[in-house]
Structure 1
Amino acid sequence: MHSYRRDLDMLRHRGFALLLTARTISTLGASFAPVALAFGVLALPGATARTLSVVLTAEALPMVVFMLVGGVIADRLPRHRVMMAGETLNAAAFFCLAAMMLTGWTPLPAMVVAAALSGVAMAVLFPALTGIIPDVVPADRLQTANALLGLGTNISRVAGLVLGGGTVVLLGAGWALVVSGMMFAVAAVLVAALRLLPAEPSEAGEYVKGNSVLADLRDGWREFISRQWLWVVVAQFSMMILAVQAAHGVLGPLVAKEHLGGAPAWAAVLAGEAVGMIAGVFVTLRLRPRRPILVATLLTLPTALPYLLLGVGAPLWTIVIGAVVMGVCFDIFGVLWNTTMQREIPAESLSRVSSYDALGSLMFGPIGLMLAGPAAILVGPRPALLGCAAIVLLASLAALLSPGVRNLRAPDPVEEVAAH
């Protein structure tokens, strides 16, 4: 039997508590960034949607390019050290962006370099985060750990978006970016105090001696491509992220600025999504579907709702509700997806496989950002948002055609506890 009391007992575990605190604070800082960066760039003299596309593309492209290297590093080295490096680099990137916004010295090349540093930081951080969870919690508690991490980060996302929007309105984008940098720095300190299980350092050392980087990448690719459910959903998300990046990064803020009242309205939409993700956590603490990937993929269909509502000019309150629905669905998907990967992929390959997952899922994101500005000019932001919704729906329906997606079964909970 599962109980909320047993779930909360996870907080007594020192390693998990440190990881949860670090990720919660890091997400709080990251939640200031979307509103601050979008409206800070759009407020610059002479800035257009194309300018915002360039800055956001500069952040997204290095994240994609360096993701595989990040996976190899996270499988070779202690993952908490890799995460510390990523958080530190993120702090440096956002302090640089903040300094430029506050001083008024905002040449586009300098902003591109600072944004690119943040992209590299995420490429280092993400594979280590996926792989570190089985290092610090028992196998039969993975879904609970993923859900509790989601709860902490989603609460931070709500608080960060509300406070970030208020900070942008009252003090300006530069100070919101200062807060982001401070939060990343605190997270780096907390992650530095994390200790993995005793066996991990020696395993990592043997791993480095026995393999070249190219061999590591080939081994990770074989693990990735041998699972149909894995590469099909990654292909689905490659198209979905193209649409989501365009909509969330450029088109949504443009519609908010032109028709909904600016930064506070867009912050409300993002906060609605985060509230939905908090609600989704409580579902995932109890939900144990026998076909987790099928359920997760079905839940990607309703994520098109806020883009449809933005595209047809619906009132702000309906768009916020649509964002709540999106948040619930994305949170349940994320917990089921991460838990399935952590159960199905060997621990020594998990960060590399997660880097292929992230690379495949995110590789078209920069294209979406690059196309968003011209699309907004050529057809208008609202028709472009309807196109984003269509891409999400078609990609999700296509993924459901895969037998691997429909048929993968989770282990019986009783058998899983007995095995570990």
Structure 2
Amino acid sequence: MNSAAASPLRPRRPAWAGRNYSLLALAAFVTTLGSNGALIASAFAVLETGGDGGDVGLVAASRTLTLVLFLLVGGAVADRLPRHHVMVAANALNFLSQGAFALLVLTGKPELWQMMLLSALGGTGQAFFNPAAEGMLMSSVDREQASRAFALFRMAMSGAAVGGAALGGAMVAAVGPGWVLAVDAVAFAVAGALRSFLDVSHIAPREPGGGLLSDMRDGWQEFIGRPWLWGIVAQFSVVVAVVGAADAVFGPLVARDSLGGPGPWGLALGAFGVGTVAGAFLMMRWKPRRLLLAGTLCVFP
């Protein structure tokens, strides 16, 4: 008998998807799975403590505000320190803040200011994590495969978003939001552990630059000097604000009052994730001549 045929079937990964890419994808899959459930859990945690739509919005805005405020700083830090160290430290901060949020919800009645503070800490961790993660992902594959690698990565994350939202909504309905927040905290701990095993021996040490403020000023000049870049950022500022308001505030309120609670809202967010999976799959097959323009226009539908 052919030994290959007798061996268990194993999913084959692309030849270009090496160890670092696999670790990064797995870690991101875990955190995306947990975070999409936590998005539902945090909203219903506020509502279950007697909060209203305004309180839900304040907790969500606390995370977004610190994310925006510290993103430029996070980018400068990611250019000065080893990216994998920044990623692990950010995961540790998210683990601690989300774990404390879960503990408050599970053991008592959390105050609004406490939930806002912990949400803000979570946004701070994400602000430092995102720039480091993007650079690390691109360094894990050859330049020729970057587009395909990113599309496959986004498709996997979108799949995790589908499962995380649907499972998170069901868990909030079954066991309450506190346990879903606890699962998200554990997901950050697992992801941080996975990212600590990244092999960075092939990455050349970066030359020391100027001071942190100087790097931030240079980054800002590079940003405003490219109209296509700040134009897209302006567009997505509106898009993210609208989608974020629906995801974090209006959706949970409508679900509570008219749809039957967190379970149906999880399914609704899962349906959004199905669309992102389809879009990522399309981008792996379709190579438009003006890729950025096509992606920008596809936001509207």
Kept in 2: contact 1:162–1:268 (CA 8 A): yes
Structure 2 unmatched ranges of 5 or more: 1-10
Residue by residue over 1:88-141, the C-alpha shift from the partner in whole angstroms, topping out at 9 and shown as x without a partner, is: 111111111110110113112221211111011111111111222221111111
Residue by residue over 1:227-277, the C-alpha shift from the partner in whole angstroms, topping out at 9 and shown as x without a partner, is: 221111111111222212212111122122222222112111100011112
Q: Give the aligned partner of residue 152 of structure 1.
A: 156
Q: Give the aligned partner of residue 176 of structure 2.
A: 172
Q: Give the aligned partner of residue 74 of structure 2.
A: 70
Kept in 2: contact 1:135–1:196 (CA 8 A): no
Kept in 2: contact 1:27–1:156 (CA 8 A): yes
CA distance in 1, matches of 2:241, 2:261: 24
Distance 1:122 1:79, change over 3 A: same
Q: Give the aligned partner of residue 34 of structure 1.
A: 39
Deviation at 1:218, TM superposition (A): 2.0
Q: How do 1:384-395 and structure 2 match up within 5 A?
A: none
Q: Give the aligned partner of residue 300 of structure 1.
A: 299
Structure 1 consecutive aligned stretches of length 4 or more whose deviation exceeds 6 Å: none
Query: Aligned to 2:129, which of 125, 128, 137?
Result: 125
Bigger relative CO (Cα 8 Å, ≥ 6 apart): 2
Q: Give the aligned partner of residue 64 of structure 2.
A: 60
Query: Aligned to 2:88, which of 64, 81, 84?
Result: 84
Residue by residue over 1:41-89, the C-alpha shift from the partner in whole angstroms, topping out at 9 and shown as x without a partner, is: 1111x31111111211221111111111100011111111111111111
Code of the aligned partner of 1:243? V
Code of the aligned partner of 1:272? A
Structure 1 unmatched ranges of 5 or more: 303-420
Kept in 1: contact 2:97–2:121 (CA 8 A): yes
Kept in 1: contact 2:167–2:266 (CA 8 A): no
Q: Give the aligned partner of residue 14 of structure 2.
A: 8
CA distance in 1, matches of 2:279, 2:40: 23
Query: Aligned to 1:107, which of 108, 111, 135?
Result: 111
Q: Give the aligned partner of residue 239 of structure 1.
A: 238
Kept in 2: contact 1:148–1:281 (CA 8 A): yes
- Secondary structure of the residue aligned to 1:194 is coil
Q: Give the aligned partner of residue 5 of structure 2.
A: none
Kept in 2: contact 1:80–1:195 (CA 8 A): no
Q: Give the aligned partner of residue 139 of structure 1.
A: 143
Q: Give the aligned partner of residue 327 of structure 1.
A: none
CA distance in 1, matches of 2:42, 2:185: 13
Kept in 2: contact 1:24–1:153 (CA 8 A): yes
CA distance in 1, matches of 2:285, 2:61: 38
Kept in 2: contact 1:35–1:161 (CA 8 A): yes
CA distance in 2, matches of 1:157, 1:242: 19
- Secondary structure of the residue aligned to 1:8 is coil
CA distance in 2, matches of 1:40, 1:6: 41
Q: Give the aligned partner of residue 23 of structure 1.
A: 28
Q: Give the aligned partner of residue 286 of structure 2.
A: 287
CA distance in 2, matches of 1:150, 1:239: 22
CA distance in 2, matches of 1:6, 1:34: 32
Deviation at 1:25, TM superposition (A): 0.9
CA distance in 2, matches of 1:136, 1:269: 34
Percent sequence identity over matched residues?
40
Kept in 2: contact 1:135–1:197 (CA 8 A): no
Q: Give the aligned partner of residue 222 of structure 1.
A: 221
Deviation at 1:7, TM superposition (A): 7.4
Kept in 1: contact 2:23–2:194 (CA 8 A): yes
Higher percent of residues as helix: 1
Kept in 1: contact 2:25–2:153 (CA 8 A): yes
Deviation at 1:197, TM superposition (A): 5.0
CA distance in 2, matches of 1:232, 1:211: 28
Measured on the aligned residues, the alpha-carbon RMSD in Å equals: 1.7
Q: How do 1:308-387 and structure 2 match up within 5 A?
A: none
CA distance in 2, matches of 1:10, 1:279: 23
CA distance in 1, matches of 2:30, 2:13: 21
Q: Which moved more, 1:97-106 or 1:127-136?
A: 127-136
CA distance in 2, matches of 1:105, 1:231: 42
Q: Give the aligned partner of residue 367 of structure 1.
A: none
Deviation at 1:223, TM superposition (A): 2.0
Q: TM-score, normalised by structure 2?
A: 0.92
CA distance in 2, matches of 1:155, 1:32: 13
Code of the aligned partner of 2:271? G
CA distance in 2, matches of 1:141, 1:166: 38
CA distance in 1, matches of 2:241, 2:281: 29
Kept in 2: contact 1:229–1:293 (CA 8 A): no
Count residues with an aligned counterpart.
291
Q: Give the aligned partner of residue 93 of structure 1.
A: 97
Code of the aligned partner of 2:24? L
